[in-house]
């Protein structure tokens, strides 16, 4: 162990140690030195947990090679091996941990953040690091509690194995023509080949991997980033549109006539399919999802479980419960049935097409899923730390009119007879996330009024986005 920290002690910006990952601005808060020290902490933790190697993948960002290189240097300095799996989507890095038998991996990715960001998503011994575990890495580096040794760096290519695994598992009932938008993210390097092998004809948009993201931001949860898909569906004879985020772990879906099918409705389709083979299965979803999901799951004999937002927290709950399926509003979908239980936008897209290919009119299948009047995600910007303080205050003192149930597992989700309102502190940026849904526009307005009243009492000067 190196308990006496080297004299050039490294400064670790506290704001990069997020709830579910490490994320910062390249060259400012996230540097090669920071990545190397995180590699030392991860290598030490892996060895303590009886692991011998960590797979490292990276997305298509320009800073990826340098940061991944520094991370691997840190890992091998502890006596743990690093396996470089190259420039691949985050789900392929997760897949590598299984395929190579090392059970640990790090994806160097900025996900859907702007080009000057990058970050680390970390799994050690099958556990996704989140919350306290990420803070402990920071504490460990600062204390110099790091092992030393001589590991080796080797390379491995798991792309063919990944494609073969999906093509062996997912079967389309007929060939389909689809629009695919990779947003110049890393999915572009593998998704087109995968979907062609599944039997699809493609209209490709922005499938060249380019870390500058010159066309639009690779974040399909924002409707403005799906306009190119909507246009291509209008101009071609493609039946359905798929869009992937920057690191390929989330999926956007668009019907032929341009309707965006948000992930909580996609989850209905997946739940019905999975429950046909896993009777009575538990389906996990986050607090942002539609209230139409629970009754839909129950009607098909499943057990709905609402849980906290965050890919790492959902994965943990999935592992704990043995549920066959989980998903969240942001677009992370986790199949444990027939797959590994990690979030994978490419595999989710394949499973979607497997279901839709049984119909001559896939858009009709999607549009028939229950729907409600709702808002997109709305954000109240606040100073660092304030969103949590506000929510603690509201939990203690807020009184909502005609509320049937107040759920406080993650912020406040208030259920009314005809809708719900949600306010939760984001774990990644200093904002309060709001979402509203109701049976009709009048009910939506009434629920928003109730939230507005409560927020005004707590913070009279707050600028509200609704």
Active-site residue, from 37, 44, 107, 111: 111
Number of other CB atoms surrounding residue 178 within 10 Å: 25
How far, in Å, CA of 83 to CA of 345, rounded?
23
The helix (H) or strand (E) run that includes residue 386 is: helix 386-397
List CB contacts of 110: < 8 A, sequence separation 6 or more: 23, 59, 61, 117, 118, 119, 246, 247
The answer to whether 124 and 49 have CB atoms below 8 angstroms apart is yes
Catalytic site residue 359? Answer: no
The answer to whether 154 and 185 have CB atoms below 8 angstroms apart is no
How far, in Å, CA of 31 to CA of 106, rounded?
16
- For 371-392, b/e burial (b = at least 16 CB within 10 A) is ebbbbebbebebeeebbbebbe
Structure tokens at 21: 């990952």
How far, in Å, CA of 205 to CA of 215, rounded?
10
Query: Torsion-angle region of residue 338: left (phi > 0), alpha (psi -120 to 50) or beta?
Result: left
The answer to whether 34 and 10 have CB atoms below 8 angstroms apart is yes
How far, in Å, CA of 427 to CA of 372, rounded?
27
Structure tokens at 185: 């993210």
How far, in Å, CA of 96 to CA of 190, rounded?
15
How far, in Å, CA of 63 to CA of 10, rounded?
20
Residue whose token pair is 């001559």: 360
Report how far Cα 266 is from the mean position of its chain's Cα atoms: 15
Helices (H), 206-262: 227-235
* Catalytic residue annotation: 111
């Amino acid at each position: 162990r190196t308990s006496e920290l080297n004299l050039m002690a490294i400064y670790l910006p506290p704001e990069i140690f997020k709830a579910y990952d490490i994320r910062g601005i390249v060259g400012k808060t996230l540097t090669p030195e920071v990545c190397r020290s995180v590699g030392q902490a991860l290598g030490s933790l892996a060895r303590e947990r009886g692991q011998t190697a960590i797979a490292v993948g990276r997305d298509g960002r320009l800073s990826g090679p340098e940061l991944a290189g520094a991370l691997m240097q840190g890992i091998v300095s502890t006596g743990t091996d690093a396996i470089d799996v190259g420039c691949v989507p985050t789900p392929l890095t997760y897949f590598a941990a299984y395929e190579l038998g090392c059970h640990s991996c790090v994806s160097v990715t900025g996900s859907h953040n702007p080009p000057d960001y990058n970050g680390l998503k970390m799994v050690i011994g099958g556990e996704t690091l989140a919350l306290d575990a990420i803070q402990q890495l920071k504490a460990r580096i600062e204390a110099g509690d790091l092992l030393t040794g001589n590991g080796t760096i080797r390379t491995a290519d798991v792309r063919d194995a990944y494609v073969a695994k999906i093509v062996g598992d997912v079967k389309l009932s007929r060939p389909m023509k689809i629009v695919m938008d990779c947003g110049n993210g890393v999915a572009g390097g593998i998704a087109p080949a995968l979907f062609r092998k599944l039997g699809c004809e493609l209209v490709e948009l922005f499938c060249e991997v380019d870390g500058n993201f010159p066309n639009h931001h690779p974040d399909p949860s924002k409707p403005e980033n799906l306009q190119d898909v909507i246009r291509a569906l209008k101009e071609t004879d493609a039946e359905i549109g798929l869009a992937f985020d920057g690191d390929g772990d989330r999926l956007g879906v668009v019907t032929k006539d341009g309707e965006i099918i948000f992930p909580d409705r996609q989850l209905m389709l997946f739940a019905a399919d999975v429950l046909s083979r896993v009777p009575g299965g538990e389906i996990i979803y986050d607090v942002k999802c539609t209230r139409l999901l629970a009754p839909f799951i129950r009607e098909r004999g499943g057990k709905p479980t609402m849980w906290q937002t965050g890919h790492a927290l959902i994965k943990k709950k999935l592992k704990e419960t043995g549920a066959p399926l989980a998903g969240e509003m942001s677009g992370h979908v986790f199949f444990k049935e027939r797959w590994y239980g990690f979030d994978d936008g490419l595999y989710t897209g394949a499973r979607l097409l497997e279901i839709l290919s049984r119909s001559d009119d896939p858009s009709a299948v999607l549009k028939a899923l229950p729907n409600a009047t709702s808002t997109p995600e709305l954000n109240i910007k606040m100073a660092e730390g304030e969103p949590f303080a506000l929510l603690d205050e509201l939990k203690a003192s807020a009184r909502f009119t005609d509320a049937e149930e107040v759920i406080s597992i993650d912020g406040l989700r208030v259920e009314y007879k005809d809708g719900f309102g949600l306010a939760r502190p984001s774990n990644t940026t200093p904002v309060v996330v709001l979402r509203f849904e109701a049976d009709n526009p009048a009910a939506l307005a009434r629920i928003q009024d109730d939230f507005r009243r409560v927020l005004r009492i707590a913070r009279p000067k707050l600028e509200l986005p609704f």
